Each structure stands twice: as structure tokens, then as C-alpha cells.
Amino acid sequence: MLGNFTFCNPTKLYFGTDAMKGLDEELPKYGKNVLLVYGGGSIKKSGLYDQVIKILKANGKEIFEDAGVMPNPTVKKLYEGVERARKAKADLILAVGGGSVCDYAKAVSVSVFCDEDPWEKYYLRFEEPSCKIVPVGCVLTMVGTGSEMNGGSVITNHEQKLKIGHVFGEEVFPKFSVLNPEITYTLPKYQMVAGFYDIMSHILEQYFSGEDDNTSDYLMEGLMRSLIHSSLIALKNPKDYEARSNIMWTATWALNTLVAKGKTTDWEVHMLGQAVGAVTDATHGMTLAAVSMPYYRHILPYGLSNFKRFAVNVWNVDPTGKTDEAVAEEGLRAMEKWMKELGLVMNITDLGAKEDMLDDLVNATLIMDGGYKVLNKEEIRDIFKASF
């Protein structure tokens, strides 16, 4: 049954091969000083950096740069970005990169005028901003996180061995995002397929929760079927525009808050995966893949009807003459086969986790209460053991 909810998504999207024209449309709306945020050297090798700089200059912008955003942005880097934004007196933060760069830009945006430690305020106490927020725009180079159309921002603190996400309200959503699927073609296969699973995991976190017969479930089943179909095409031909554009669009809808409506949402896989990321600094999508199967097999008995539905409606499992348990397990096996076909990492050992890290992994895992089963610490420990 659908409960009461409010839906608002203020992000304007420019999608397609000419999406960069959107940057020309948006830039005049903001002041002169732009903080350009990006990761390593990939946008310079691809020519995207020069393209963005040319558009910024044509719009009369003063450009300040904040490069070197890592795949798992750190609190140390956040502090550095805040100082850069303050010195620039930034009127706009333009993130050019994947989800980590977009996440980082949002973290900087709410911290520039914050008179407290942003790590303490936003990532430990989970408070909302009470200060002025610098607007953010995104030019996306990798799909997976949905950060281009939501308020999510994940930051890692290596000293505390914590990787924590804060889902900010609509005032922190990017004001605009530029999505050209062709920009994603140069992404290495490892990062590409990690992004594919991040998308799937976002949908599953919302699907396996709450009541299992509302519009949101039907939407999510369609998104998952589209992702599975297109991912296998992109695996064979990364430059297949139809496949890559469908995946990019699916990634956005997977986590722009729409399909969460009417669901309690789980997010325990993300808590487990982020704990692995905090300890090993491994790629986010791969950490999710490595813990998913042990987790879903653990909670399957508590959400059996929806796991059966998932098997039938997403993986085309024939339920004739089979128990609900057998159908549900067959669905998980089908997903596992797809994951292996993509080349995802299926255990945390291959991500650098060692058994002597077990206590750190358990301690770094936040316990959520929106799924079919609220885990205790021993269950978390067992799931990690099964993930090695």
C-alpha cells in the first residue's frame, strides 16, 4: 500500500549527444567565479577538459580548479576543497567526472559557509545544512551513482575507518546535470561494469523493502530488465550508443528518489560495501557486488514473496511445480550468473580484505532498519565471513 509522501526533484537534465549545449544555457544564471572540480587526468586525455574550459571562458567565467578528487573522496580532500572554494569566492561548483566527483562537490557546497566541522555535522550527526549553500552543476563522465540527480554525498575518513553517506535534501541537489552517453565510452571496463552493478544495487536496495505490490515495484522491475539487457550489449560493444544511453538513463532513475516512494528502502548492502571501502579503499560498485549474494541469501526467508516475484518478473524464472523458496533461490542464482558474466568481483578477498580486518569491517557497518530484517552485529560478522 502506498503511504503518504512528497516528491520533488529540482535538477534540470540535459541528455544526449548535444547535451553540452546545456552548459551554455545554465552558466549565465550564476556569478562569475566557478570552481571546476574533477578527478585525475582522464578528462584532459579525452579532450573534455578543454571543451569545458572553452565554454566557461566563452561565458566570461573566472575559473578556479580543484583537481585530484579520488574515487572514494576523503575528509582531508573535503577540507582542501572547502578552502579552495572560499579563496575562489565560488558562485558555482562545476563537477566534471563520475559519482565521486559529484558527491564531493555537494559535500564542498554545504561546507563552504559552515562554521562547524562538516565531517562531524553532516557525516556523524547527519544534520542538514543551516548555512548558505553554493550551487552545484555536473557534467557526468561515468554512470552508476545517480549523484547527478540526487542529494547523496559519500565521504571516507581513513583515520576513523569510516565511509559514510549523507542524503541531503532537495536544496543540495545539483541545479543542472549534463549527460552525454558518448563521454562514458572511454571508461575502462572495470569501472564500467562496477557502475552497472552500482545501478542494480540501488534498485535492489529499494525493491527489497516494504510492501511488494505498488507502482514503484513495477517501475523498478522495468529498470532492472532494461539494465540487464543493455549491460550485456555494452559488455560486448562499449560504444553501442543505444545500450550506453539506456544504462545512463536507468542509472539516473534508479536513484533520483522517485522509485523509493512507497518503500521503506533497505541500504544494508551499501553499509556493508561502504565498510569494505573504508577499510580497503576498493571501487564502490565492486564492494557492493562482493557482499550482495551473502546478504540476500541471508534475508531471503524474511522477504520470500518479493524474492519470488523478483525471480519471476526480472529473471523469467518459471515457478511451475516449484516451492516459493526454490523459485526465489533460482532468481538469485540467475543474478549471480549475470554478475559473473559482467566480470564483477564476487568476494571481498579479491578487493584486499583480510580476515584480520573482520572486526574493523563489522565496526564500520551501520545498521539500517528499512529492510526485511534488522541485522545484529553477529549477523553482520557472518555475512562478511561468507563474503571472503
Q: Which residues fall within 8 angstroms of residue 352, CB to CB, at 6 or more apart?
A: 280, 281, 282
In Å, how far are 50, 81, 103, 170, 195 from 7, measured between CA atoms?
37, 31, 21, 10, 26
Q: What does DSSP assign to residue 209?
A: S
Is 4 exposed, middle or buried, given 0-12, 13-18 or 19+ CB atoms closer than 10 A? exposed
3: confidence class by pLDDT, cuts 50, 70, 90: confident
How far from chain centre, in Å, is Cα 288? Answer: 11
5: confidence class by pLDDT, cuts 50, 70, 90: confident
Q: Which residues fall within 8 angstroms of residue 35, CB to CB, at 6 or more apart?
A: 64, 65, 66, 81, 84, 85, 88, 90, 92, 93, 94, 108, 134
Ordered by where they begin, the domains of the chain are: 12-183 (3.40.50.1970), 189-387 (1.20.1090.10)
pLDDT in tens, 255-303: 999 999 989 999 999 999 999 999 999 999 999 999 999 999 999 999 9
C-alpha 131/C-alpha 188 separation (Å) is 39
- Predicted pLDDT at 1: 63
pLDDT in tens, 351-370: 999 999 999 999 999 999 99
